[in-house]
Amino acid sequence: MKIYLEPTTAEWDSLVQRPLIDQGPLQKTVSKILQQVRAKGDTAVKVLTKKHDGFTVRKLLVSEKELKDAERKIPVDLQQAILRAYQNITKFHSQQIEVTRKIETSEGVYCWRKSVPMERVGFYIPGGTAPLFSTVLMLGIPAQIAGCKQIVLSTPAAKDGHVHPAILYAASLVGIKEIYKAGGAQAVAAMAYGTASVKKVDKIFGPGNQYVTAAKQLVQLDGIAIDMPAGPSEVCVIADETSIPAFVAADLLAQAEHGPDSQVMLVSNNQQVVQDTLNEIEKQLPQLDRKSIAEKALQNSKAILLGNTESVVAFVNQYAAEHLIIASDEPQQYVDGIVHAGSVFIGNYTPESAGDYASGTNHTLPTNGYARAYSGVSVDSFVKKITYQQISKNGISKLGNTIVLMAEAEGLQAHANAVKIRLN
Amino acid sequence: MKIYLEPTTAEWDSLVQRPLIDQGPLQKTVSKILQQVRAKGDTAVKVLTKKHDGFTVRKLLVSEKELKDAERKIPVDLQQAILRAYQNITKFHSQQIEVTRKIETSEGVYCWRKSVPMERVGFYIPGGTAPLFSTVLMLGIPAQIAGCKQIVLSTPAAKDGHVHPAILYAASLVGIKEIYKAGGAQAVAAMAYGTASVKKVDKIFGPGNQYVTAAKQLVQLDGIAIDMPAGPSEVCVIADETSIPAFVAADLLAQAEHGPDSQVMLVSNNQQVVQDTLNEIEKQLPQLDRKSIAEKALQNSKAILLGNTESVVAFVNQYAAEHLIIASDEPQQYVDGIVHAGSVFIGNYTPESAGDYASGTNHTLPTNGYARAYSGVSVDSFVKKITYQQISKNGISKLGNTIVLMAEAEGLQAHANAVKIRLN
């Protein structure tokens, strides 16, 4: 982890920069995969699955029996943990339902908006080394609360053709019955364009490798909605003299174990805390299973030492972190100043892991500085907010002239006529 | 307008289809423009403005004097109309501010989310034949309510180098002072990537021709947020035996005058009303200024006759119209069944023009079937919803085991450690 001592604000621009990935060649490869699936449907999905994921799939759809068997394959204590997380996430997200309020904007003119669930949504859940059943909850719970009736899940099976039972268990908790054994860009293509076995969805959610990410961005050009653009996961920790270095080190390592491209930042106004944290990392790192991954991530990581609290807040805002931990006993001095972040973890006893699994907030968050303009996944992500207006005969007679004047000034006479004809 | 008599549901797929535009060549041209602006900044914007919009611009930024002069160039009655629209739109959108509620999801675990305004947003406003000052209100008012401090507007000037005073007047009403004389893909590029005179924005809003639309989609691949993908404007009218054919015809013509590619649909369970409406169109069309545009749009337009109310609702849902007018004295029989639409206009006295200008709802709406997954512009479009969690020592001791179990089951040991270290 490289230490930067009081960099000037001119230097901040490069410090907050995420590694640039040249999307050109990747997009070409992924475009080809999308084309294949559009042309050959399920056959292409199966061939590409064999080629890229190394397993032969006869039937893409997970059977009812596989779904039923999942529950007894999960240890009871893990089941209880998943249920507890389910409850907290449900409690938090249930507050996000918008109530419809009818407003009389002017005499006889009534307007309102109503949240209507999307009809059919698709989740991409990575398989591989880590079976991300927590992401099934994070996408499935807000979808369920929104009222989505058709939820499709696509995930690569292991080489033996099985989907991890924890993914199936989490899926059945949130009411998902339609699960396909397909991964990578081909899975995204199947959900985006539809095949004989997978019906086209309206919006695609979920994390994935760079192929999945590129596929999501490309299908968006064809009008399929996606949750948000994505980059490698990242954390930024604010530390000060009230931080506990062992905790900060553990939080940084938790992020670093995600992948070699994970982004880890430590920002502080206290040199001693930074040094103590780095020492703690040295102590904790050797004990990790995913030590070599974390080590690589730490090589690109930065510890930034700044002169005062104001600079710390300004810097973390410019970074716009996916996860921002305020590791302090006096976090309030920072909280109100934060304007760009995905999710904020406040105080020494709020590790990022809590939000990843069970505090109740969503862990699908904007990376790569996208927190400047994007929010994390919520119930909002699964509804369209349709607006309505109903105007009485008296209402249009009172408001009509306003509309006519504006339409005519914009040179749209037929727009004006549509009102005039109702006034006569 | 072609009439389709009771088409089968198998035929609906092609009836709801929008004309496909091959984006390939367009994207190449637009990519080149984006590259030029990234490489040469203001110089490229000026050269391209000269080339495509035909005016020479010395200073991109509209001067304070030009802004001040705008007000006295607008007739007083138009000023009053704009103010009235401003009030209604403000009244409706003010209800969209989300109040922050702190929730204790489990003992000692507090979660909440807060809407934070985007820092810097950019509006593209088309110039040309129709000065769309109404769009300035529709984007500026929710931005103002959200609390956006830096709003940039870019619009092509007329050949004499002036921006239409109604655009400037509407801009000053919503507090916009930073207005650039630039149009087309080059204006989008300047806002997306920044130049010497235009500072990069976080999100780009607003309608435009196919070049502008393509530019917005392409800059999105570079991580710049946009309001929504766009296609030609469209209306779908439900008519029945209680409709007033002259009103329906006027509404269809109002949509048709937008452009030759406008989409106009009439859906009914009553043949007489369809016939009477077509006759009315013949009567009203010759009187229009934009007759030739409307005529072209009508050539691609469809009148669909269906057997019953249920089919009518099912069909309009499949079409997922930007604007849906329910031209009926008994609109309630349709309203609750509508699940895909941008904005709904209920009853015989609610023309689409009302929503375009002054009822209070937003007129920036999803076209091209995007209403399946997208909402129109609202205050939501101008905020990020940041989530927060604060956990007490007691809270993490109670929730910790749940997190540890889940993290370990996902193979993420360092995530588990970040909790364990706090439990000891």
> What are the residue boundaries of the structural domains of chain A, listed by start?
23-226, 232-363, 393-423
Active site residues of A: 322-323
**pLDDT at position A231:** 87
Q: Which CATH number fits domain A23-226: 3.30.300.30, 3.30.70.1400, 3.40.50.1980, 1.10.10.10?
A: 3.40.50.1980
CATH number of the domain at B232-363, please? 3.40.50.1980
Contact list in A for residue B131 (CB cut-off 8 A) is: 409-411
Please give, rounded to a whole number of angstroms, the shortest distance from the CA of A103 to a CA of chain B: 7
pLDDT, tens digit, 9 for 90 and up, residues B351-391: 999 999 999 999 999 999 999 999 999 999 999 999 999 99
Where does the pLDDT of residue B161 fall: very low under 50, low under 70, confident under 90, or very high at 90 and above? confident
Average pLDDT over residues A411-415: 96
Contact in structure between A138 and A89 (CB atoms under 8 Å): yes
Average pLDDT over residues A216-221: 93
- Asked whether the predicted pLDDT for residue B253 surpasses 70, the reply is yes
Question: Pick from B254, B376, B414: which is nearest to A415 by CB?
Answer: B254
Which one of B93, B164, B258, B323 is the catalytic residue? B323
The more confidently predicted of residues A73 and A128 is A73
* Least confident range of A95-99, A158-162, B312-316: A158-162
- Asked whether the predicted pLDDT for residue B128 surpasses 70, the reply is no
The more confidently predicted of residues B71 and B142 is B142
Q: What is the 3-state secondary structure (H, E, C) of chain B?
A: CEEEECCCHHHHHHHCCCCCCCHHHHHHHHHHHHHHHHHHHHHHHHHHHHHHHCCCCCCCECCHHHHHHHHHCCCHHHHHHHHHHHHHHHHHHHCCCCCCCCEEEECCEEEEEEEEECCEEEEECCCCCCCCHHHHHHHHHHHHHHCCCEEEEEECCCCCCCCCHHHHHHHHHCCCCEEEECCHHHHHHHHHHCCCCCCCCCEEECCCCHHHHHHHHHHHHCCCEECCCCCCCEEEEEECCCCCHHHHHHHHHHHHCCCCCCEEEEEECCHHHHHHHHHHHHHHHHHCCCHHHHHHHHHCCEEEECCCHHHHHHHHHHHCCCEEEEECCCCHHHHCCCCCCCEEEECCCCCHHHHHHCCCCCCCCCCCCHHHCCCCCCHHHHEEEEEEEEECHHHHHHHHHHHHHHHHHCCCHHHHHHHHHHHC
pLDDT, tens digit, 9 for 90 and up, residues A275-285: 999 999 999 99
Average pLDDT over residues B337-364: 98
Average pLDDT over residues A59-71: 93
Please give, rounded to a whole number of angstroms, the shortest distance from the CA of B164 to a CA of chain A: 10
- Asked whether the predicted pLDDT for residue A20 surpasses 80, the reply is no
- Asked whether the predicted pLDDT for residue B12 surpasses 80, the reply is yes
Average pLDDT over residues A29-44: 96
Smallest CA–CA distance from A418 into chain B, residue: B250
Contact list in B for residue A375 (CB cut-off 8 A) is: 383-386
Contact list in A for residue B113 (CB cut-off 8 A) is: 96, 361, 378
pLDDT, tens digit, 9 for 90 and up, residues A310-348: 999 999 999 999 999 999 999 999 999 999 999 999 999
**pLDDT at position A124:** 97
**Contact residues for A222 (Cβ-Cβ < 8 A; gap 6+):** A192, A193
- Asked whether the predicted pLDDT for residue A39 surpasses 80, the reply is yes
Average pLDDT over residues B109-116: 98
What are φ and ψ of residue B62, in 5° steps?
-70, 135
Average pLDDT over residues B224-246: 96
pLDDT, tens digit, 9 for 90 and up, residues A224-251: 999 999 889 999 999 999 999 999 999 9
DSSP letter string over A27-96? HHHHHHHHHHHHHHHHHHHHHHHHHHH----S-SBPPHHHHHHHHHTS-HHHHHHHHHHHHHHHHHHHTT
pTM: 0.96
**pLDDT at position A58:** 87
Average pLDDT over residues B397-409: 98
Does the active-site annotation cover B164?
no
**pLDDT at position A22:** 72
Q: What percent of chain A has pLDDT over 70?
A: 99
Q: Which helix (H) or strand (E) holds A13?
A: helix A9-15
Report d(CA B360, CA B378) in Å as an integer.
11
The answer to whether B392 contacts chain A (CB < 8 Å) is: yes
**pLDDT at position B21:** 72
Mark which residues 58-117 of B lie under 8 Å from A by CB.
77-78, 80-82, 84-85, 87-88, 91-92, 95-96, 101, 103, 105-106, 109, 111, 113, 116
Contact list in B for residue A81 (CB cut-off 8 A) is: 401-403, 405-406
Average pLDDT over residues B315-319: 98
- Asked whether the predicted pLDDT for residue A129 surpasses 70, the reply is no
Contact in structure between A357 and A92 (CB atoms under 8 Å): no
Q: Which residues pair with A166 in a beta bridge?
A: none
Please give, rounded to a whole number of angstroms, the shortest distance from the CA of B370 to a CA of chain A: 7
**pLDDT at position A128:** 67
